[in-house]
Structure 1
Amino acid sequence: MRVNEQEVEKRKEVILTSPLSLEGDSNVDYKAPNILQRVFSLLNNVRPGSELTRFQLPPLFNIPKSHLQCYGESVYSVNKDMLSKCAQGETAIDRMIAVIGWSISTVRPLMFGVAPYNPVLGETHCVSRGSLNVLLEQVSHHPPVSALHATDETNNVELLWCHHAVPKFLGATIETVVQGKRKLTVMQRQENYVMNSPKLLIRLLPKPGVEWVGNVKIECQETGLRAELCYKGSSFFGFGGGRSIRGKIIDSSSLNTLYEIDGQWDRSVKIRDTSDHDGKIKVIYNAKEAISSLPTSFVKDPEGVWESESAVVWAEVSKGIMKKEWEKARDAKRHLEDKQRELLRQRKSKGENWVPKHFHLSYTPENGWDCSPKHKTIAPAPIIFPI
């Protein structure tokens, strides 16, 4: 009986690490030495054009948190509450501008040469920030699909994301397309803002680096407003133009450009009213205010933490990485992967299909993967992000 109690205690250990902030976690050294050389040796037998969704990284290349946690952090880990402002705007254009600023805040700097864990099937992550309650679940493993549902009944906003990340090795770069849609609903006004995610580009040559690139469209059918944003990285040789963003807000009915957007998502982003002849410029996003020096979440209710929680599932691996005890981290990760394979074998032997606990999952060739929550609202979480 005592052994079982020890196993339960060990299983419920929660390891929470600092969120990815404006500093890109540069103050914490998780990386092994000679990281670029190790990356090339790791990819030596991978052909250009190959998908990397089934590619398993050793702990040397991991940061101590899963992709599920990173998705969640982009929503709840913020110093300045920008989400509630999306519902507070008096006019439709005010609300669209607020949604754009919030959308930019979900983009975070990443470190070259390391990546989060690939979440295991059924893994969850649940955190509250004030009245905002966020729940994520890994609803598919092959292919990897992550679902997010967040509700803030006080501020009348709801989020629903369904992400299917597809990384491809292209020789000098690794490009990850984040398929699936993000929807922000302003419940009081019954407005739905549907958007996609930028692509993640990892440059190996000639200058290593990680960048967010590509086009993002934010559309609200109820108001007829549409925003088109373009994230741009640096040049091939790593000079100039890095982390820039440009865009515009369009009236879909007339196709007139109402506002122009320009700036850098890791500094500040400004907007200009095209009808204003004085050319007045307004700051709609300040990265330093929003995502600099972010605090770490803490456990308020240890008994309420689920065994499927990311910070529990990966606790032993994370401890090994943080202490740079690579052998222990590798053993813990191998044990976790073996356990998942055994669970898969058991389901196959019984003819059972795994079903997500918190989301309905569907797929169509036209629209790809889609998720819908099984519950209308998310309850307060046992893990809290301090505000």
Structure 2
Amino acid sequence: MAELASQLQDFLAVLVSTRGDLASISAPPFLLAPFSVVEVAGAWLQRPSLIASVAREPAPERRALMILKWILASHKSQFYLGGSPSGGLKKPLNAFLGEIFLARFVEDDVNFHLVSEQVSHHPPITAVHMWDESTGISATGYVRVQMKFSSGVIVRQIGHVVVHVPQFDERYIIPFPSATVKGFLSGQLYPELFGTYKIISSSGYVSEITYSGKGFFGQGQRNSFNARVYHQADAMNPLYTASGQWIGKFSMREARTGDLIEEYDCLGSGNVANPVVTATEEQDAWESRRVWQEAISALKQNNFQKVLAEKHKVEMSQRALRAQEAQSGQVWKPLLFRPMQGEYKVFDSLTSEIQWELHADETKGVWEPDVEKIKNLKKPFRGDTTPLG
């Protein structure tokens, strides 16, 4: 533990001395999770029945509460990544340009598909699309991660996800909360979310979440939150409240009476659905687990020297591809997603009542899936071109 703390402090010294965005900085191998950034969105689908159940709820205010529950239940996997609340967090491998992750998440009769693509490397932007054929529910989003050091690593996520529930022609826009990575001096990193965020429904219901954590003098609980669900026409009179820890238990209650609706245990509420993916050797050359298979294997074996060698191999191949493109005058185009042009009607209609700045200039636009390309995707994805040259 003392050696690990020393290594973390050395890494901290590097972060402190680096100016600008830290997102592209490579973490030391012992901090890496055995998967890439493009897999992170899978955290939202580890309990696919939670989101699918929204399609069976007739009351719009209850649907808003169920979306809130689904998001909170996904936080632990989303922010602790390859680690755990007891063991600390890990940093996923930096995705290369054009990297793709394809998976399914199955639970009972729910079968969610996930497509994720790294649509930009500088700055790093990941676009995702997920859908369940049985309910028709879909979600599309994109995120740019920006990091800086200020008494801890501040992780700012720029982007959003829009969920569509076709049974009710209803949409929800969901923000990505910012986080602070703490624990460098203790040798165990952990995230704390901060700020207040709103999940907005086209039905007019809003879920407002305020995150908090353990204070400098030990007050409060790590990874905590308070939330309330209300109609935007009557924000002072919430219908439901929720509070607790997104790494453990949280409760949902009727706001007026305080009656308990449900206590949800993020750790004990059944098994999570692992991603179902094509066997690595059968994947396309651009699929994440095929490209990173040697690095992932080395990470699982704690063979950090090999991890560095495999990462270097991918990075050098990517530099060579960029140089070839510059020499030939080619412009890289994402395969399965494209930036929207003109007005952002869905975003504008859902956020018209609040001050939510889009920051499209920081994410190279608002990204949407090319659904036809996704449905008709065939190998080889990019002909003779491969990420390893």
Normalising to structure 2: TM-score of the pair? 0.80
Alpha-carbon distance between aligned partners in 2 of 1:92 and 1:183, rounded to the nearest angstrom: 16
* 2:34 aligned with 1:68: no
Alpha-carbon distance between aligned partners in 1 of 2:95 and 2:216, rounded to the nearest angstrom: 32
SS in 2 for 1:288: coil
The aligned runs of 1:247-286 (5 Å cut-off) are 247-255=227-235, 256-276=237-257, 279-283=258-262, 285-286=264-265
Find 2:51's aligned residue among 83, 88, 96. Answer: 83
Alpha-carbon distance between aligned partners in 2 of 1:326 and 1:243, rounded to the nearest angstrom: 30
The aligned runs of 1:115-134 (5 Å cut-off) are 115-130=91-106, 131-134=111-114
Aligned counterpart, 1:182: 161
Check 1:181–1:366 CA distance in 2 against 1; reply closer, same or farther (3 A cut): closer
Aligned counterpart, 1:3: none
Alpha-carbon distance between aligned partners in 1 of 2:127 and 2:172, rounded to the nearest angstrom: 17
* 2:15 aligned with 1:40: no
Aligned counterpart, 1:53: 23
Q: Percent identity?
A: 22
For residues 47-106 of structure 1, what are the alpha-carbon distances to aligned partners after superposition, in whole Å with 9 as ceiling and x for unaligned? Answer: 37742023122423312111211222x12223x620101221110011111101111122
> Are the counterparts in 2 of residues 218 and 228 from structure 1 also a CA contact under 8 Å?
yes
Aligned counterpart, 1:173: 152
Which letter does structure 1 place at the counterpart of 2:170? E
* 2:331 aligned with 1:339: no
Which letter does structure 2 place at the counterpart of 1:53? A
Higher percent of residues as helix? 2
For residues 238-293 of structure 1, what are the alpha-carbon distances to aligned partners after superposition, in whole Å with 9 as ceiling and x for unaligned? Answer: 553112110111211122322222121122222222333xx311116331344x66
> Are the counterparts in 2 of residues 162 and 371 from structure 1 also a CA contact under 8 Å?
yes
> Are the counterparts in 2 of residues 206 and 236 from structure 1 also a CA contact under 8 Å?
no
Aligned counterpart, 2:369: 373
Which letter does structure 2 place at the counterpart of 1:121? L
Structure scoring higher RCO (CA < 8 A, sep ≥ 6) equals: 1
Q: Which runs of 5+ in 1 are unaligned?
A: 1-31, 383-387
Alpha-carbon distance between aligned partners in 1 of 2:207 and 2:373, rounded to the nearest angstrom: 28
Shift of 1:298: 4.9
Q: Which runs of 5+ in 2 are unaligned?
A: 343-356, 379-389
The aligned runs of 1:154-233 (5 Å cut-off) are 154-170=134-150, 172-204=151-183, 207=186, 208-214=188-194, 215-220=196-201, 222-233=202-213
* 2:148 aligned with 1:153: no
CA RMSD, aligned part only? 2.7
SS in 2 for 1:285: strand
Alpha-carbon distance between aligned partners in 1 of 2:283 and 2:218, rounded to the nearest angstrom: 43
Aligned counterpart, 1:96: 64
Check 1:250–1:376 CA distance in 2 against 1; reply closer, same or farther (3 A cut): farther
Alpha-carbon distance between aligned partners in 2 of 1:270 and 1:204, rounded to the nearest angstrom: 28
Alpha-carbon distance between aligned partners in 2 of 1:378 and 1:268, rounded to the nearest angstrom: 37
Aligned counterpart, 1:17: none
Shift of 1:362: 5.4
Aligned counterpart, 1:6: none
Which letter does structure 1 place at the counterpart of 2:248? R
Aligned counterpart, 1:7: none
Normalising to structure 1: TM-score of the pair? 0.81
